Structure 1
Amino acid sequence: MSVQTFISTIWEARLLAKFHERAIASTITTAPERIEGNKIVFNNVSDVAVKDYAGNVAWDELTTSKVELPMDIKKYFAFKVDDVDKVQAAGELIDPHVTEAAAAIQEAMDGAVLTEALKTTNVVAHVESDKAYDKIVKCNTALNKKKVPKADRYAVINAEVLENLNLDARFTKEYTILENGVIEGANINGTQLVFSEELNAGTFMIVALHKSAIGFGTQLEETEAMRLEGSFADGVRGLSVAGTKTLRPSAVVKCANA
């Protein structure tokens, strides 16, 4: 075997595909307009004013404000492979090797995005009911009052919240949790439910947000193979970098158990 034949683009493409299949971070956030070096860039467009028409038209200047975010989240993976050449030549054998790496990266990135979401000061409190269903409705009401668009809204929940919902007769019992966390068939008050155990360390918590609330960008910075000393195996390692930031503070709320 020769690590010189290692084709990083093949491994990176498979790894990214697996990551995006499983990551809720990609589902509930806005992707950057572009990546510049170690920064991700978002452009926010100014609001359009609507005026009363009285015969004349006043033209507004639309401006865009650039938000630059450092990719300061850095996670690496490193694993052994019996023979990089054989795995690479077979093609489909790459997937079992990158699946675990992608899962580990996905958990880290999902955790980073949800930690950013939990920084919100928009707290839905004093909900008289202890039922998660009612709390999600209240979260949706809070977003409505902020005039947050109804499309692309998500409510992220964890196992404790899902258990509470399963005990509620109003909640559907016919749902499927997809690989990317989306709970297919579960929509409460117009909001799509998404499941993640990376939310609030597993303690009861609901985060409701619009897709535009949080920006998130990630890329694989480097993937390489090497012969391991003292081992009849090759090593494959890679570095994944990312950045996340709240772009629309009014478009995210949270609700804990009373």
Structure 2
Amino acid sequence: MAIFPAPQRAERFIPEIWSAGIFYALRGELVVASGLVCNHDYEGQIQDAGDKVRIPTVLDPTVEDYDPIAGFTGDPQDIIGGETSFEIEESKAFRFKVDDIAKVQSLIGGQYMSEGMTRAARRLAEAADAYVAGKILAASVAYKKVDLLLDAAPDVMWQQLVDVRVALDKTNTPATGRYMIVSPELYGNLLMNPRFIDASQSGSTEPLRNGLVGRALGFDVVVANTLPAKTHAIAGHKIATSYADQIVKTEAYRPERWFADAIRGLHVYGARVMRGEHLAVLQTA
């Protein structure tokens, strides 16, 4: 590999391309912090770690009687009830060597992705998923916790999933867009349940598959290996949780110990549960 002087390396490195490439790969790896589970409506406000994301609090309008002759009485309700916020409190850095910065960045956005970028995105996603899962668990236990018998008979286990659905129904959680994140252990048990793998009973027209494994009882079901200990399912709707993240820094540098180029960057993020009544968890004792 040719050795480039520092000015030349700096000229051929384009931070925006690398930030976008890492961010795109990261989004493809997220599960708990993905757009299925969290809303990402406020991430454009992030510039660096420590920033605060400010969210207006919207109240439900009051439904009132209406007289078609007299019309309305009084003024319309103001549904903006102030604002809440959360801090971008997590910072995770990454760094890896590349043989040719110019070659890799010319192909970012196509089908080619350097191994370093792919692996960095996967590790960043795992950290973000574990962080968001902890936030959701802390909030959801205060509202709805269903005790899970992980080794229960298939009918009993199915009833436990039904209990989660009923709990969300009671808080008027929107039916469209519900998710259930399950641990590998729970997923393995469910795969032995005919009602779970039967596409006609799971609400899907296709057999369940890896990744987003299908639908069951009105939930989009996904598998994650980043749930907290003894937590085997988190269910809810993305209106409950706000998540914001950004790749705020990327730069090229020359490692002192190698004749090679290297990339390093910083991923910052934060999350907050805004409406915990739209969450539920399944936990073992």
What TM-score does the superposition give when structure 1 sets the normalisation length? Answer: 0.89
- Identify the structure with the greater strand proportion: 1
Q: Quote the sequence identity (%).
A: 27
Structure 2 partner of 1:22: 29
* Structure 2, unaligned runs of 5 or more: 199-206
Q: Is the 8 A contact 1:214 1:244 kept in 2?
A: yes
Counterpart selection for 2:260 from 233, 236, 243: 233
Which amino acid letter does the alignment assign opposite residue 144 of structure 2?
A: V
Where do residues 1-258 of structure 1 align in structure 2 (5 Å cutoff)? 1=4, 2-4=8-10, 5-24=12-31, 25-26=33-34, 27-33=36-42, 34-37=44-47, 38-54=51-67, 55-58=70-73, 59-89=76-106, 91=108, 94-119=113-138, 120=140, 121-125=142-146, 130=152, 131-172=156-197, 174-178=207-211, 182-183=212-213, 186-201=214-229, 203=230, 205-257=232-284
Which amino acid letter does the alignment assign opposite residue 9 of structure 2?
A: V
User: Any runs of at least 4 consecutive aligned residues in structure 1 with deviations exceeding 4 A, and if so which?
Assistant: 89-94, 126-129
Cα RMSD between the aligned structures? 2.1
Deviation for aligned residue 1:64: 4.4
* Structure 1, unaligned runs of 5 or more: none
1:27-47 CA-to-partner distances (Å, cap 9, x unmatched) read: 210113341542223223111
Q: How many aligned residue pairs are there?
A: 252
Which amino acid letter does the alignment assign opposite residue 176 of structure 1?
A: R
Deviation for aligned residue 1:132: 3.7
What TM-score does the superposition give when structure 2 sets the normalisation length? Answer: 0.81
Which amino acid letter does the alignment assign opposite residue 160 of structure 2?
A: K
Q: Residues of 2 paired with 1:224 and 1:128: CA distance? A: 49
SS in 2 for 1:212: helix
SS in 1 for 2:228: helix
1:2-26 CA-to-partner distances (Å, cap 9, x unmatched) read: 3212101111111111111121212
Q: Is the 8 A contact 1:153 1:210 kept in 2?
A: yes
1:138-171 CA-to-partner distances (Å, cap 9, x unmatched) read: 1110010011111111111010110110111111
Q: Residues of 1 paired with 2:157 and 2:254: CA distance? A: 52
Q: Residues of 1 paired with 2:45 and 2:106: CA distance? A: 32
